[in-house]
Amino acid sequence: MSAYEEFGEQPEIEARNLRIMEALLFASEEPVDLEAMRPYLSDGADLDALIDALQRQYAGRGVTLVQRGSKWAFRTAEDLNFLLRREQTDTRPLSRAALETLAIIAYHQPSTRAEIEEVRGVSISKGTLDVLMEAGWVRMRGRRRTPGRPVTYGTTDAFLDHFGLEALSDLPGLEDLKGAGLLSSRVPSSFQVPLPFAGDLTDEEDPLDPDDLGDPESDDESND
């Protein structure tokens, strides 16, 4: 049974909903939130059932429907990625400081700048965080309920999409990191890979202030 045939009560309406959802996903350059598609679908459309049906329809094909955090997107099947590799010019790899900062935020989020520096053991420049936010991989989450109310940082759905992760729980674990040679095989038995917080604000965070999207830490001029 195809995805278009599995809805029994209103097959024509649901088939149209599936086509609309399919078209919206194909037309979007970025992963799409299900709720963003609701205005284009029939009243009372079951978004979860529709996306499940569409995902099954594309299972095993050259293009598959994947989840990236709370959003969805069509992506080339992983086993066919080699067919689409192309030379890219003028690409600038992230600096070591940016890569380390991104890794710390990914595993320790929500993290403040001071917490990132504590893990790295050195200070970070504001420019390092700016680069990660301009790439769309890091965002300001809120403000910590501590003196000074420092900004907290976390990763984005674009981060998940770029690294092919469905959720933060898919980040490499201890054994994966050892296998990749990123951790010594003789790390202390008490060593644990942090579990990142993937939800909304924690009890220790306040929402961002209206002017935070401008320059939340302009008074901090430390250098990397």
Q: What pLDDT score was predicted for residue 69?
A: 83
**What pLDDT does residue 6 have?**
57
Residue with tokens 């490499």: 172
Fold agreement (11-84, 96-206):
yes
The domains of the chain are located at 11-84, 96-206
The SS3 assignment for 79 reads helix
CATH number of 96-206: 1.10.10.10
Angle at Cα 155 formed by Cα 180 and Cα 214, nearest 5°? 140
11-84 — its CATH code? 1.10.10.10
Helix (H, G, I), strand (E, B) or coil at 40: helix
pTM to 2 decimal places: 0.59
Neighbours of 32 (CB within 10 A): 18
Q: What burial class does residue 103 get, using C-beta atoms within 10 Å of its C-beta: 0-12 exposed, 13-18 middle, 19+ buried?
A: middle
Contact 196, 108 (CB under 8 A): yes
Q: How high is the pLDDT of residue 52?
A: 93
Taking the chain, what is the end-to-end CA distance rounded to the nearest angstrom? Answer: 58
Please give the Cα distance from 156 to 98 (Å, whole number). Answer: 16
Give me 26's structure tokens. Answer: 């194909």
Q: What is the pLDDT along the chain (224 residues), one digit of tens a residue?
A: 555 555 555 678 888 999 999 999 998 888 999 999 999 999 889 999 999 999 999 988 998 999 988 899 998 888 887 776 654 444 567 888 898 899 889 988 899 999 999 988 888 887 899 999 999 999 999 999 999 999 999 999 889 888 888 888 888 876 666 555 555 555 555 555 667 777 788 888 989 887 776 655 543 443 44
